[in-house]
Structure 1
Amino acid sequence: MSIGDRSQVLSLLQLVSPALPVGAYSYSEGLETLVESKTIINNHTLQHWLEQELSYGAIRLEAAIMVRAYQTTLENDIAALSYWNTWLSAARETSELRASSWQMGQSLMRLLFAIKPQQAQSFCIEGECNYAIALGIFASLEQINLQSLILGYLHSWATNLITAGVKLIPLGQTAGQILLHELHANISDAATEIMSLEDDELSSCSWGLSLASMAHETQYTRLFRS
């Protein structure tokens, strides 16, 4: 492996690490509501939920928009980048989901400006920046392999929600890691499909997530922000 390849791998590991200071750990994406309502009660029901989200849900759509942010950054097409950012904001079903995407996106953009101030200056977006957009920009500037980026993004998403499930259900740490390992095939299949999606195929079926997110706003006790 060349020095350049090593640098790309290290950059990817940093961007998808749970230690990345964007606040992903503070969101459950409705999982807290689903556990309280007994929709998710153990590792099997959590696995089913995550598998369905990877196949049909919002994370699939977000990853596809991240791909477009990556490509438009390579092409230095700021107008297209802003378009997809606005498109993704409009596609968020609840104010909480939108706010979490914006908060994480702005946090990641601040990190990008701290690490690559000159390059980042060329990709300022008016208004709030979604997390998937910021990640696409950052990864493109770091020259991370696109397929590896999608895998890393989906794996990071699954890791965050399984970690939330370990706390909420609760599950043991070993059970959580077994579940993450069992999702590898689903993550790989989803990444392959996402790479080939055309613009007119961008859609998701995540009404369950939407309802859980809306209910979370008025939940009596909450550990997570969303």
Structure 2
Amino acid sequence: MDTLTKLLQLASPALPVGAYSYSEGLETLVHSGVIHDVDALEHWIIQELNYGAVRLEAAMMLRSYRATLNQEFDRVLEWNQWFTAARETEELRSQSLQMGGSLLRLFRALYPEPIPNFPDGCNFAIAFGLVAALWEIEESSALLAYLHSWATNLVSAGVKLIPLGQTSGQKLLLKLGEEMGKSTIADLSDDELETCGWGFAIASMSHETLYSRLFRS
């Protein structure tokens, strides 16, 4: 299987890691009326790309990728511990560890080559970077795939929750693709590993108290 096929498989919505069951606080924002149409959803996702938690996630993915290429698995484990501690809420931490664990179990079933054990669980961003490196996927392609799969999941959640038409969702994904192409995440230094996402964190913390929920976060 060539690297393009592996990349498509890794970024596919059909990848059985459970991403479709999470809205990352979006359900709370729709419920409260903060996000009520496609323009509001676009603004929220772009702000998250530029300033929010996904910047940190993607930066962690790249650090895992680079450390794996250099066979520095101790560094992979260190970044995983750092990122677990940096997760803003219980729901986000549980989501990250559940998806990461699912991806590693899948990878071990598909390719029984030795990979590190993660005693306290593995975050999805770390697992994604590890698998992308072992599958010899080019770095910039891995970054774009990670961001695109994240955006696809949120747009799909928005289509269901707001609700939006499928065409509106696809138009939004095209716009978001342009924003992803401007990303400077690959150039973030360790001192720049920070986010400004208090609204995102509050939405996530409030989600567990919603009267009814379609999503797990």
Amino acid at match of 2:188: L
Contact in 2 for aligned 1:74/1:140 (Cα 8 Å): yes
- CA displacement at 1:143 relative to structure 2: 0.1
Alignment of 1:17 with 2:8, yes or no, is: no
Q: 1:130 aligned to 123, 137, 145, which one?
A: 123
- CA displacement at 1:123 relative to structure 2: 2.0
Amino acid at match of 2:208: E
- CA displacement at 1:122 relative to structure 2: 3.3
Instruction: Write out aligned runs for 1:166-181 (5 A).
Output: 166-181=159-174
Hey, which bits of structure 1, 4+ residues long, moved more than 3 A?
none
Alignment of 1:155 with 2:143, yes or no, is: no
Alignment of 1:68 with 2:63, yes or no, is: yes
Amino acid at match of 1:196: D
The equivalent residue for 1:105 is 100
Contact in 2 for aligned 1:32/1:216 (Cα 8 Å): yes
2: CA distance between counterparts of 1:122 and 1:17? Answer: 22
Instruction: Write out aligned runs for 1:1-226 (5 A).
Output: 7-118=2-113, 121-190=114-183, 193-226=184-217
SS in 2 for 1:178: helix
TM norm structure 1: 0.94
Post-superposition Cα deviations, 1:174-196, rounded to whole Å, max 9, x if no partner, equal: 00000111111211112xx1111
For the aligned residue pairs, the C-alpha RMSD in angstroms reads 0.9
- CA displacement at 1:216 relative to structure 2: 0.3
- CA displacement at 1:46 relative to structure 2: 0.1
Give the aligned length. 217
Which segments of 5 or more consecutive residues in structure 1 lack a partner in the other structure? 1-5
Post-superposition Cα deviations, 1:79-126, rounded to whole Å, max 9, x if no partner, equal: 1111100111011010000000000000000011011112xx232222
Amino acid at match of 2:65: Y
Amino acid at match of 2:37: N
Amino acid at match of 2:185: I
1: CA distance between counterparts of 2:156 and 2:133? Answer: 28
1: CA distance between counterparts of 2:107 and 2:130? Answer: 9
Amino acid at match of 2:131: F
- CA displacement at 1:37 relative to structure 2: 0.3
Amino acid at match of 2:201: S
Which segments of 5 or more consecutive residues in structure 2 lack a partner in the other structure? none
Post-superposition Cα deviations, 1:147-184, rounded to whole Å, max 9, x if no partner, equal: 00101110111000000000000000000000111111
Q: Percent identity?
A: 56
TM norm structure 2: 0.98
SS in 2 for 1:34: helix
Contact in 2 for aligned 1:82/1:126 (Cα 8 Å): no
